[in-house]
């Protein structure tokens, strides 16, 4: 069984839940060829019938993350995800394009992620700051993060961008239990907001409140390259 088929097979053997972003992390030295292969796949009738968003992102300054890129599919409900997962195996066209993609990638990991709490639509955001963490008390952390992030959204002016707390409901990595994201319209905004946040008194107070229940294990930027 070829790499990409095995990658999908491992993923689809896991449980299916609502909410519902499937991440396929991979390494590549030929990103332009990956874009070309994905574009061809997404122009097929199989892909056009997917009830969800389809995007390619690059990982930048990605800490201990081996992957260089991620293909992301997000779905509005369980039925949409289930239809997509079943259609992958049933579509000869999808299999053919999967084989083409194999030539340019090395799969790293897969995960089905879901938001525990979030604000706003993430599809317009072009850059995301991501923090992976181990959380021992999810309910307490979610409460503190929601309060802090909404306050920062007002003071830093990203009330219209997405931000939230998520976790992998399938494909969990042993190094973290949850992740936080903050979206931005561009790289400059993402960097300035992050720097200002770290220097704020609000962040210092928030860090003290959650120091006993969460440990940050990695951080990186995720940059949108293409939507299909």
pLDDT computed for residue 17 by the predictor: 35
| pLDDT tens, residue by residue, 77-130 | 989 999 999 998 888 888 888 888 989 999 999 999 999 999 999 999 999 999
Give the residue among 171, 39, 9 at the shortest CA–CA distance from 101: 39
Report which of 146, 214, 212, 143 is spatially closest to residue 176, judged by C-alpha positions.
Answer: 214
Instruction: Give the residue-averaged pLDDT of 56-60.
Output: 97
Question: Which pLDDT value is given to residue 175?
Answer: 84
User: What does CATH list as the number for 3-113?
Assistant: 3.30.70.100
Q: How many angstroms separate the Cα of 103 from the Cα of each of 40, 52, 113, 201?
A: 14, 26, 27, 49
DSSP 16: -
State pLDDT tens for residues 16-49: 334 889 999 999 999 999 999 999 999 999 999 9
Q: Identify the pLDDT of residue 140.
A: 98
Cα-flanking dihedrals φ and ψ of residue 193, to 5°? -65, -40
CA distances from 182 to 54, 63, 141, 176 (A): 20, 17, 16, 18
Task: Judge if 3-113 and 115-222 fold alike in CATH terms.
Answer: yes
Taking the C-alpha atoms of residue 219 and residue 184, their distance in angstroms, rounded to an integer, is 16
Q: How far apart are CA 206 and CA 208, in angstroms?
A: 5
Instruction: Work out the number of other CB atoms within 10 angstroms of the CB of residue 201.
Output: 7
Angle at 41 between CA 39 and CA 45, to 5 degrees: 115
Per residue in 121-176, pLDDT (tens digit) is: 999 999 999 999 999 999 999 999 999 999 999 999 999 999 999 999 998 767 89
pLDDT at residue 13, rounded to an integer: 35
Confidence band, pLDDT 50/70/90 cuts, at residue 4 = very low
In whole angstroms, give the CA distance from residue 147 to residue 150. Answer: 6
Bridge partners of residue 135, in order along the sequence: 214
Q: Domain ranges for the chain, please list them.
A: 3-113, 115-222
* CA atoms in the 13 A half-sphere facing the CB of 46: 20
Query: CATH: 3.40.50.2300, 3.30.70.100, 3.20.20.70, 3.40.50.150. Which one for 115-222?
Result: 3.30.70.100
Q: What's residue 5's pLDDT? A: 45
Q: How confident is the model at residue 12 (pLDDT cuts 50, 70, 90)?
A: very low
**Is residue 227's pLDDT more than 70?**
yes
- pLDDT top residue among 174 and 13: 174
**pLDDT higher than threshold 70 for residue 2:** no
Return the axis-axis angle of helices 78-90 and 3-12, rounded to nearest 10°.
150
CB atoms within 10 A of CB 123: 12
The 10s digit of each residue's pLDDT in 182-208 is 999 999 999 999 999 999 999 999 999
Distance CA 58, CA 27 (A): 10
5/141: higher pLDDT: 141
């Amino acid at each position: 069984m070829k790499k990409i088929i095995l990658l999908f097979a491992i993923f689809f053997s896991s449980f299916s839940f609502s909410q519902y972003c499937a991440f396929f992390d991979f390494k590549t030295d030929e990103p332009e060829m990956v874009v070309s292969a994905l574009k061809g796949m997404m122009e097929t009738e199989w892909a056009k019938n997917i009830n969800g968003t389809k995007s390619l992102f690059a990982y930048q300054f990605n800490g201990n993350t081996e992957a260089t890129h991620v293909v992301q599919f997000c779905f509005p409900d369980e039925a949409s995800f289930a239809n997509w997962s079943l259609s992958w195996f049933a579509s000869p066209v999808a299999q053919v394009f999967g084989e083409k993609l194999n030539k340019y990638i090395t799969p790293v990991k897969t995960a089905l992620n879901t938001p525990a709490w979030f604000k706003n639509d993430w599809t317009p955001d072009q850059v995301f700051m991501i923090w992976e963490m181990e959380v021992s008390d999810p309910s307490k952390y979610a409460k503190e993060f929601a309060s802090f992030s909404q306050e920062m959204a007002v003071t830093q002016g990203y009330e219209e961008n997405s931000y939230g707390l998520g976790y992998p409901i399938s494909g969990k990595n042993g190094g973290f239990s949850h992740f936080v994201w903050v979206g931005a319209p561009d790289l400059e905004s993402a960097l300035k907001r992050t720097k200002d946040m770290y220097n704020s008194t609000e962040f210092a107070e928030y860090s003290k409140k959650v120091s006993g229940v969460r440990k940050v294990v990695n951080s990186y930027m995720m940059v949108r390259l293409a939507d299909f």
